[in-house]
Amino acid sequence: MIEVRNVSKSFGGQTILRDISATFHPGKMNFIIGRSGSGKSVLTKCIVGLHRPDVGTVSYNGREFTSMNRDGKKDIRKEIGMLFQGSALFDSMTVLDNVLFPLRMFQEAPLGELRERAMFCLERVELPDAGDKYPSELSGGMQKRVGIARAIAMNPRYLFCDEPNSGLDPQTSIVIDNLISDLTQEFNMTTVVVSHDMNSVMEASDFVHFVHEGGIAWHGSSDDLLRGGHPALDEFLFASKLMRKLRESTRP
Amino acid sequence: MGLFFHIGRYTSFLGNVLRRPEKGSVFRALVLDEMNSIGIQSLGIVALLSVFMGAVICIQTAHQIGGWIPVYTIGFTVRQTMILEFSPTLIPVILAGKVGSNIASQLGTMRVTEQIDALEIMGINSANYLVLPKMIAALACIPFLVILSMGLGIGAGMWVGVSTGVSSVADFEYGMQIDFNAFDVTYALVKTCVFALIISSVSAYHGYHTSGGALEVGRSSTKAVVYAVVIVMVTNLLLTQMLLG
């Protein structure tokens, strides 16, 4: 479980996050949604420690992360996997080397065993034959899958996905969503997905946190999402014609 | 942003770079890769420039002397120019352009494509992992390139001097040996080592702290070269005064 308590963050006098508190559950798909510029990416970066919150704390299973020293943070980060918006694969390495990378850095097992583990991860994301290719030779969807394979290589307890569907067609998006969802249950990970893609939210989320103007304006289960309850959330959810039609068709 | 901001951030950056590497075997492989990139791949440009500079210094010196100035001055001047200034200062300046821009653009691209964030998320000290191998490779390779440059420049000067008839082999060799002070080579290598650290760390600093997109990567690369060259020049003056003044 990840607990965020009263986190605030400003950049150059501009407040991005205001007193945010949230809980992310293990074995579940926890979504952070919101408009572009609402602060959801900054919140994620505060949670994983890429930004230091001005105020507030982040705890991983009761271990207070924000005030830890470098070594303490390192131990927790070994339990974190992250899929970046642009995949962030190392372009000088092959796909197999990308997945092998965290294993080589932190595990002392023979290279053969590490390669087996990396191949297992590539097979798990259905890319068993892509090992010798370079990231630039792959499509956007395949790069995301390699990113997922690298993120799960170390058997993480926490998985963060920043806009996993950006730049993907709807069908590939669903493949990626389902893959993340399956892996979450399979490894009982606490998965946090940052997204503004409503298809993805409806398809894969268990819990949703809606970020608006730097604060959590609404949170609840995905079943409650369409009932709304906050004007900004309604505006966000039903921005598209498709969602408005869906709302009208489900009204009694 | 102010000078003191950059000095503070550069110092903090070096504090992160100069730590024990995460894994020795990975680190050694990275250093070898960087030695290839910084050293071996710079051999051609260093050799070319050194040969032509040595030859030009020889012809210019021959043009200046006459009458009562002895011919062996040509060999003396070529040797002194190559050892004291051209090889230890101008070769690093040229490498600041070639190697420095490469380091800055590589790290800048890694920053804007979130590859550096990916390293940090994995629990890896990204500054140490990415920059320390470059600094060590620069420190190991650039002095060798400078020694090679000295040899090639003097050799080319001698060849041009003899083949154009402005000096005999004996005169040139005599000029090369006269009043030789071994400390000049020490001075040159001390300068070179300091410049190697400046080029690699200053360009890495600019690349590592890139923010934005492709345009900023280009700007960081340009800034890296300009700052590295300016700092090399200022340090050159200070070191020369300290060691020879």
Residues B36, B141: Cα–Cα separation, whole Å: 9
- Domain termination site, one of A105, A137, A155: A155
pLDDT at A150: 93
Q: What is the ipTM of this complex?
A: 0.86
- Enumerate the residues of chain A whose CB falls inside 8 A of the CB of residue B26: 104-105
Q: Rounded to an integer, what distance in angstroms lies between the CA atom of residue B79 and that of residue B151?
A: 9
Beta strands in B109-245 (DSSP E): none
- Find where tokens 């790069």 sit: A143
> pLDDT value at position A175?
83
Tell me, what CATH number does A41's domain have? 3.40.50.300
Give the total residue count for chain B. Answer: 245
- In this structure, the answer to whether residues A131 and A167 fall within a common structural domain is no
pLDDT in tens, A182-208: 889 888 899 999 988 888 888 888 999
Best A51, A93, A106, A161 residue to mutate vs chain B (most B CBs within 10 Å): A106
Evaluate whether residue A85 is within a structural domain: no
CA–CA distance from B37 to each of A240, B53, B98 (Å)? Answer: 51, 24, 10
Q: In terms of domains, do A107 and A57 share one?
A: no
Same domain for A74 and A19 = yes
B184–chain A Cβ distance below 8 A for any pair = no
Same domain? For A167 and A241 the reply is: yes
A38 and A61 within one domain: yes
Global pTM value: 0.88
Residue of A nearest to B118 (CA): A88
* Distances, alpha carbon B85 to alpha carbons B191, B227, B228, in Å: 10, 20, 17
Q: What is the mean pLDDT of residues B222-239?
A: 96
Residue A173 lies in a domain: yes
User: Residue A242: CB partners within 8 Å, gap ≥ 6?
Assistant: none
Q: Tokens at residue B127, please?
A: 């500054």
Structural domain harbouring A213: 2-79+158-250
CA separation for the pair A182, B31 (Å, rounded):
40
Answer whether residue A12 shows pLDDT above 90.
Answer: no
Distance of residue B145 Cα from the nearest chain A Cα, in angstroms:
26
Whether residues A104 and B26 touch (CB distance < 8 A) is answered with yes
Same domain? For A106 and A137 the reply is yes
Asked if the Cβ–Cβ distance from A74 to B120 is below 8 Å, we say no
Q: DSSP class of residue B40?
A: G
* Residues A147, A84 contacting (CB under 8 angstroms): yes
Q: Which of A103, A126, A155 is the last residue of a domain?
A: A155
Q: Are residues A73 and A14 in the same domain?
A: yes
Q: List, for residues B60-100, the tens digit of each pLDDT value.
A: 999 988 778 899 999 999 999 999 999 999 999 999 999 99
pLDDT digits (tens, 9 = 90+) for A132-170: 999 999 988 899 889 999 998 998 999 999 988 887 888
Same domain? For A210 and A241 the reply is yes
pLDDT tens for each residue of B124-146:
999 999 999 999 999 999 999 99
Judge if A68 and A187 occupy the same domain. Answer: yes
Q: Over 90: is that where the pLDDT of A71 sits?
A: no
Q: Do A90 and B115 touch (CB under 8 A)?
A: yes
Domain total in chain A = 2
Q: What ranges do the domains of chain B cover?
A: 26-240
Q: C-alpha B208: how far from its chain's center? A: 20
If one counts every other C-beta atom within 10 angstroms of the C-beta of residue B237, the result is 10
Question: Of A29, A21, A25, whose CA–CA distance to A4 is shortest?
Answer: A21
Name the residue among A78, A104, A160 with its Cβ closest to that of B123: A78
DSSP E strand stretches across chain A: 2-11, 14-24, 29-33, 55-60, 63-64, 80-83, 158-162, 190-195, 207-212, 215-221
Characterize the bridge pairing of strands A190-195 and A158-162: parallel
pLDDT averaged over every residue in chain B: 94
Q: Say yes or no: A146 and A177 in one domain.
A: no
Token couple for B117: 């964030």
Q: How confident is the model at residue A251 (pLDDT cuts 50, 70, 90)?
A: low
Domain boundary residue, one of A104, A132, A155: A155
CA-wise closest residue to A32 among A217, A166, A179: A217
User: Is the domain of A146 the same as that of A227?
Assistant: no
> A186 and A135, same structural domain?
no
Which of A89, A99, A105, A107 is the best mutation test for B, with the most CBs of B within 10 A?
A: A105
Asked whether residue A84 is assigned to any structural domain, the reply reads: no
